[in-house]
Amino acid sequence: MIQLENFDREFSFEQLVPEAVIKSVIPFLKKMGADGIAIYSPDFSLGFTDNFALPSHIDIIRNTLKTLSNNQAGKIEISVSDILYFPIVHEGEPVAYFVIRLKKNCRDHTDILMNAGFLLMKFFHHFMEMNQKMMMAADLHTIVVEDSFTELKEKNQKLEKSEKKYRDLAKSLEAEVEKKTKEIKYKQAQLLHQDKMASIGQLAAGVAHEINNPIGFINSNLETLKRYHEDLKSLILEYRKLIPFASGDKIPGKSEEIKNLIDNIRQIENMIEIDFISEDIVALLHESQDGIDRIRKIVTTLKDFAHPGKDFPEFADINQNIESTLNILHNEIKHKADVIKDYGKLPDLCCYPRQLNQVFMNILVNAVQAIETHGTISITTRHKDTNILILFSDTGSGIPKKNLRKIFDPFFTTKEVGKGTGLGLNLVYGIIKNHGGRTDVASVAGKGTQFVITLPLNSPLHKKGQNDGDC
Amino acid sequence: MVEFRKQEKKIIVKIVYYGPAMSGKTTNLMFLHDIMNPGGRGELMSFETKGDRTLFFDLLPFIIKKKDFSIKIKLFTVPGQVAHDATRKAVLSRADGIVFIADSQNSQTMNNFESFTNLEKNSYRVGLDFETMPLVVQFNKQDLSDIVGRDEVLEKWGQTRLPITFSSAIYGDGVKETFLTVLKRTYTHLDKLLGLKANHSICEEDFIPELLE
């Protein structure tokens, strides 16, 4: 950095009037009759000289200058010549004394040199003022520029510092965002899992009912069969008593005994209603077998539905999938809606069947929940060009227009807190997208909602399935 | 900062006229220039722009010669325009006394306040002790109408405990009074600092130049 001088400092004569300026006037003074030139400082020491060496003169002049009171120019007469002195005043005080010694025997030049001296006094006075003004302005300007520069530099440093801070912040933000994204993804996966678990839980209630019912009557049938067995056992015991007679050893004279035994048997047969029992046993066994079949069917569908295993696509009949989902939801739907099925003939689709089951279930559960008292759910499937179309229509409460755009957003729900995860339709959307298809929705508030699922037959899954799966 | 040149037996004192733009700082100096004895004073050095606005500063130096020493006092003005703050700061540096020229017009109340706050801030920035600094406040342009009343000025500015003068610099009224007040205050301050009277036999009167009535 430049070492700056104070602009308001004191300026000396030497600073304000360069020697070159003085030297430039000397030849003219000499032409006018000057012999030597000297400049005294305010403390009367000798400064610049030109042909001015006589010590006696120097002291005479100094003594004269010391006694000056009002900064007046004057003349000292010495033996063969005159010495003229001119105080140079600046800022109200003499800053130098300009001294001219005349050539010997040139006293007739005194007047003209006196006037030249006055002229120089004025000239130096104004020259110094101008020069000081310029120097002060220049110095002040430099100070101001330097000051502004320093200020700018400081500002710049501050800016750099804050910029670095923001850069660091941005970096850490990025990391933070990445971390949060991971967390959110994890949470979302967890929620999706929870949603699945919740629907399975919902199912479990329905399924339990479905299974409990046959178990109930199978149990009661078994009780009845046990009783029938007791009755038949007592009857058989009576029959066995007849066996010895049948062998012929004891027949003579025993007809009375036989007759009694047979009466007894007839009596028991009447008592236990043997004809009814033999018919009822068949009926009970049939009924129980039916019940067991029903249970087996439910368990099989449930297994199909919730099977967590296979991760590879396989060929599936969509109509069957819908049917199996309806089976599971049978208990949920039967009291609230009539289901009208219109299945078209469909080619097998390469897909993740269990994922699609989840889709159908989520849509159907929504449909059921949208129906307040009793309504209709229509399911239509069609094969059109290279797509399979699946339409689910319900006569439920419908979706208000303002919500329609948002229903596929994750966590969007109009259900009470804790009732819906807001992931059901998001899952639908995600799964269908994953199958290369699309989900469209149309709804009129108060009238009902229609979901249209379009699944392409040659989806990317098809290729994947050919490599890894069963397709 | 006062300069004490022992060899030359000379003290150099700096007094700065501060205040908002067009409040009459230069006018104060012009009037002082006119009433000073030409023997001891220098020229009024002005840097003016077209609109009579001070671009850099004004300088009026004068010398008071006593038998054993001389006192050189330099009066400076700062540019009042807000934009020239760096210049103002540089000119204020090393001040031994300050005159704050306020514009008495009602419309200028805010400017006075802002400029005074700026003075306080710049004093701190250039290392002046604002609390002990000899400071006189002059309410100029008393000749105009629509000005803040004296009572109101005294009530508001009295809290600062600073000496307050009223002036009409364009006619010279109050300029001398302000000037003498700041000189006396500056003397008292420097005397405390340097022992002017005890060590150098310089008394208050020695700080006051010959002025025409």
CB B19 within 8 A of CB B84: no
Residues A326 and A297 in one domain: no
Phi, psi of A386 (to 5 degrees): -105, 20
Which residue in chain A is spatially nearest to B85 when comparing CA positions?
A144
CA-to-CA separations, A256 to A89, A234, A252, A259, A266, in angstroms, rounded: 179, 22, 10, 5, 15
CB contact under 8 A, A140 and B91: yes
Q: Which of A286, A303, A320 is the last residue of a domain?
A: A303
A80 touches chain B (CB under 8 A): no
Q: Are residues A281 and A214 in the same domain?
A: yes
- A318/A462 same-domain check: yes
Residue A351 identity (one-letter amino acid): C
Transcribe A217-270 into DSSP letters: HHHHHHHHHHHHHHHHHHHHHHHHHTHHHHTTTT-TT-HHHHHHHHHHHHHHHH
Residue range(s) defining the domain that contains residue A64: 13-144
Task: Tell me whether A143 touches chain B (CB under 8 Å).
Answer: yes
CATH number at residue A438: 3.30.565.10
**Hey, is the C-beta of A45 within 8 angstroms of any chain B C-beta?**
no
Q: Do residue A362 and residue A342 come from a single domain?
A: yes
Q: Please tell me whether residues A318 and A263 are part of one structural domain.
A: no
The count of structural domains within chain B is 1
For residue A41, give the chain B residue with the closest CA: B8
Residue A157, token pair as written in the block:
């440093």
Checking if the pLDDT of B48 tops 80, the result is no
In a domain, A191, yes or no: no
Tokens of A468: 């890894």
Tell me what pLDDT residue A325 has.
87
Does a structural domain hold residue B212?
A: no
- Residue pointed to by tokens 């320093």: A150
CATH classification of the domain holding A82: 3.30.450.40
Task: Judge contact between B163 and B181, C-beta under 8 A.
Answer: yes
CA distance A116 to chain B (A): 23
Check CB contact under 8 Å for B61 and A91: yes
Closest CB to B90: pick one of A43, A133, A147.
A147
Residues A316, A219, single domain; the answer is no
B213 in any annotated domain: no
| Residue A247 and residue A350 in one domain | no
CA distance A50 to chain B (A): 27
Chain A interface includes B86 (CB < 8 A): yes
Selected residues 28-47 of chain B with any CB under 8 Å from a CB in chain A: 39-43, 45, 47
For A40-109, where are the alpha helices, taking DSSP H only? 55-66
Q: CB distance from B17 to chain A under 8 Å?
A: no
Is B16 within 8 Å of chain A by CB? no
Residue A29 lies in a domain: yes
Nearest by CB to residue A129, choosing from B45, B72, B86, is B45
Interface contact flag, B87 A70, Cβ < 8 Å: no
Q: Work out the pLDDT band at B11, boundaries 50, 70, 90.
A: very high
User: pLDDT higher for B67 or B116?
Assistant: B116
**CB-defined contacts A:B, below 8 A:** 63
Minimum CA–CA partner of A131 in chain B: B45
User: A27 is written with which tokens?
Assistant: 């030849």
- Report the pLDDT value the prediction gives residue A375, as an integer from 0 to 100: 92
Residue A58 falls inside a structural domain: yes
Phi-psi domain of B20 (left: phi exceeds 0; alpha: psi -120 through 50; beta: other):
beta
- Chain A residue nearest residue B55, CA to CA: A137
A110 CB within 8 Å of a chain B CB: no
Q: Is the pLDDT of residue B198 over 60?
A: yes
| CB contacts, 8 Å: B93 with chain A | 6, 8
A417 to chain B nearest CA, in Å? 59
Residue with tokens 């059109």: A384
Domain boundary among A258, A285, A303: A303
Q: Is residue A177 part of a domain?
A: no
Question: Looking at the complex, does the CB of residue B69 fall below 8 Å from at least one CB of chain A?
Answer: no
Does residue B65 sit at the A interface (CB-CB below 8 Å)?
yes
Q: Determine whether the interchain pair A140/B14 forms a contact, defined as Cβ–Cβ distance below 8 Å.
A: no
Same domain, A316 and A451: yes
Pairing, β B45-48 against β A34-40: unpaired
Residue A417 is predicted with a pLDDT of 56
Judgement on whether residues A350 and A261 belong to the same structural domain of the protein = no
Per the structure, the complete domain to which residue B18 belongs is given by: 3-207
Question: Which residues of chain B neighbour A70 with C-beta distances below 8 Å?
Answer: 39
Taking chain A (471 residues) in consecutive chunks of 10 residues, what is each chunk's mean pLDDT? 74 93 93 93 91 84 88 88 93 93 88 94 93 90 88 93 92 91 85 69 68 87 92 89 72 76 88 90 91 81 58 85 86 87 92 86 88 92 93 91 80 65 78 89 90 88 64 68
* Three-state secondary-structure class, residue A347: coil
Does residue A394 form part of some domain? Answer: yes
Shortest distance between the Cα of A47 and any Cα of chain B, in A, equals 17
Lowest mean pLDDT among A454-463, B26-35, B180-189: A454-463
Residue A254, pLDDT score = 72
CB atoms near residue A316 (< 10 Å): 21
| CA-derived radius of gyration, chain B | 17
Shared domain for A133 and A220, answered yes or no, is no
Interface touch A148/B86, C-beta < 8 Å: yes
Name the strands in the sheet holding A387-394, side by side, starting at the edge strand that comes first in the sequence.
A337-343, A375-384, A387-394, A448-456, A438-444
Contact status of B179 with chain A (Cβ, < 8 Å): no
* pLDDT for B150 beyond 90: yes
Residue in B40, B70, B87 nearest the CB of A140: B87
Give the pLDDT of residue A1. Answer: 45
CA angle B199, B201, B207 (to 5 degrees): 115
* Contacts of B195 by beta carbon, 8 Å cutoff, 6+ apart: none
- The CATH number assigned to the domain holding B108 equals 3.40.50.300
pLDDT reported for residue B75: 96
Determine contact, residues A304/A354, Cβ cutoff 8 Å: yes
- Supply A450's token pair: 């229609």
pLDDT of residue A156: 94
Close Cβ partners of A317 (under 8 Å, ≥ 6 residues apart): A346, A348, A349
Helix (H) or strand (E) run with residue A338 in it: strand A337-343
For residue A24, the tally of other CB atoms under 10 A from its CB is: 10
CB contact at 8 A, A368 and A392: no
Residues A259 and A357 reside in one and the same domain: no
CB A364 within 8 A of CB A325: yes
Secondary-structure breakdown of chain B: helix, strand, coil percentages, each rounded to the nearest 5:
40, 30, 30
Contact B181, B206 (CB under 8 A): no
> Is residue B62 less than 8 Å (CB to CB) from chain A?
yes
Under 8 Å CB-to-CB from A375, ≥6 apart: which residues? A336, A337, A338, A394, A395, A396, A448
Are the C-beta atoms of A450 and A393 separated by less than 8 Å? Answer: yes
Residue A40: CA atoms inside 13 Å, Cβ hemisphere, count?
Answer: 24
| Nearest CB partner across the interface for B39, out of A7, A70, A148 | A70
SS3 A292: helix
- pLDDT at residue A300, as a whole number: 72
Of A79, A111, A144, which closes a domain? A144
Whether B45 and A132 lie within 8 Å, measured CB to CB: yes
B74 vs A8, A90, A141: nearest CB: A8
Of the residues A4, A6, A8, the best mutation for testing chain B's interface (the one with the most B CB atoms within 10 Å of its CB) is A8
Count of structural domains within chain A: 3
The predicted model scores a pTM of 0.59
Does the interface predicted TM-score (ipTM) exceed 0.85?
Answer: yes
Residue B181 contacts residue B207 (beta carbons within 8 Å): no
Q: What is the DSSP string of B158-211?
A: GGGT--EEE-BGGGTBTHHHHHHHHHHHHHHHHHHHH-HHHHH---GGGGS--B
**Residue in chain A nearest B67 by alpha carbon:** A69
Same domain, residue pair A116 and A252: no
Query: What confidence score (pLDDT) does residue A49 get?
Result: 92
Contacts of A42 in chain B (CB under 8 A): 8
- Look at residue A304 in the predicted model and tell me its pLDDT: 61
Spell out a b/e string for A279-294, using b for 16 or more CB atoms within 10 Å of the CB, else e: ebbeebeebbeebeeb
pLDDT grade for B140, boundaries at 50, 70 and 90: very high
User: In angstroms, rounded to a whole number, what is the distance separating the alpha carbons of residues B58 and B60?
Assistant: 7
